[in-house]
Amino acid sequence: MRITVCCTDTKVPPWLEGLRAAIPGAEVEEWRPGAPQADHAVVWAPPQQFLDEQPRLKGIFNIGAGVDALVKLRLPPQAVVVRLDDAGMSVQMAEFVCHYAIRFFRELDGYEADTAAGKWSFRRPRPRADFPVGVMGLGVLGQRVAQALAAFEFPVRGWSRGAKEVAGVECFAGTEQFDAFLSGTRILVNLLPLTADTEGILERRTLSRLQPGGFLINVARGAHLVDADLLALLDSGHLAGAVLDVFREEPLPAGHPFWSHPKVVVTPHTSARTLRDESIAQIARKIRALEEGKPIAGVVDRHKGY
């Protein structure tokens, strides 16, 4: 079996070594233009040329959960496109989101500022019921995040495309329930995939529907957000703050207003990192299953785009 690896912005040699160790007997090489046809590909944001030169791939394995950079390309029609299915990402995402939600709710930034000023002072405890959290996207990551927040006894609501039942989470589905979901939400967490339907979904109308003093945690994709609309709502006071882990352009360009805005925390697309060993083990398992004609999780629906 031949496996080709084509991952931009990635240190490729450890992936080659890991895949060779996990699939003994497979020929695993980094793709170069003109390389021979492979059976399976392991990719991250590959160029179109790669796909054009590998028309008979059986499986294309994305080393991330989001496939937006992949599905916009012309893909070999017969190839099964597979994304990472958790592989250690959901617990990281839960840590990250809970950290910032709790930080906001407990006013920990304020306490840090007080400490820095040598000030010993208490803030009045705020009722948790006044901080309902809404999670957009109830997939692998969204459900884990929603349940982690529920464990801290926040009122948690979730929104997905199809109707869902998630223990401890009030579930909403579809465009017809979007406004009801938003209007009962104060802390909004975005964990949607980036598709034609969701691009720009975090815009003025959506963010205005959050409860006053709202807070945004965007950990999905930068193109979900209309930057200027967020800035306007922060400046008007309708929103109290935002944590942004993903951006339309990454790295976030120097001079972008998010860098210096007092109500914005910028993190460098790091809320849930691809863990190499877990990911290689998952991909190796799935390649074997695919070869044996067995079903696998994480197959991308090309029509839906995620």
Q: What residues are annotated to the active site?
A: 221, 269
Look at strands 187-190 and 133-136 and give their pairing. Answer: parallel
Contact call for residue 65 and ligand OXD (CB under 6 A): yes
Angle (CA) 233 234 236, round 5°: 60
Question: Could you tell me which stretch among 2-10, 58-66, 128-136, 279-287 binds ligand OXD (CB under 6 A)?
Answer: 58-66
The residue among 232 and 275 lying less far from ligand NDP, judged by its C-beta, is: 275
Q: Which of 127, 239, 133 is nearest to 188 (CA)?
A: 133
Q: Is 46 one of the binding residues for ligand NDP (CB under 6 A)?
A: no
- Choosing from 157, 186, 221, 286, the residue that interacts with ligand NDP (CB under 6 A) is 221
Kindly tell me which residue out of 18, 46, 59, 64 binds ligand OXD, with binding defined by CB under 6 A.
64
Please state the φ and ψ torsions of residue 135, each to the nearest 5 degrees: -110, 115
What span, in angstroms and rounded, lies between the C-alpha atoms of 83 and 141? 13
* Residue 250 found at the interface with ligand NDP (CB under 6 A): no
Alpha-carbon 91 to chain mean position: 12
- 224 and 192 Cβ atoms separated by less than 8 Å: yes
In the list 27, 109, 179, 197, the residue contacting ligand NDP (rule: CB under 6 A) is: 197
Q: Which does 245 bind (CB under 5 to 8 A by kind): ligand NDP, ligand OXD, none?
A: ligand NDP
DSSP strand pairing (187-190 vs 27-30)? unpaired
Indicate which single residue of 72, 99, 269, 302 sits in contact with ligand NDP (rule: CB under 6 A): 269
Cα Rg of the chain, angstroms: 21
Which amino acid makes up residue 43? Answer: V
CB of 280 to ligand OXD, least distance (A): 15
Of the candidate spans 8-16, 62-70, 210-218, 285-293, the one that interacts with ligand OXD by CB under 6 A turns out to be 62-70
**CB 121 → ligand NDP: shortest distance, Å?**
35
- Decide if residue 139 touches ligand NDP (CB under 6 A): yes
Binding partner at 198 among ligand OXD, ligand NDP, none, C-beta below 5 to 8 Å by kind: ligand NDP
Residues in the chain, how many? Answer: 306
194 binds ligand NDP (CB under 6 A): yes
Encoded tokens for 16: 């080659």
- When binding is defined by CB under 6 A, the residue of 6, 63, 148, 192 that contacts ligand NDP is 192
Among 182, 219, 242, 243, binds ligand NDP (CB under 6 A): 219
As a whole number of angstroms, the distance between CA 4 and CA 10 comes to: 14
Token pair 């969701």 in the structure block, residue = 198
Judged by DSSP in three states, 285 sits in helix
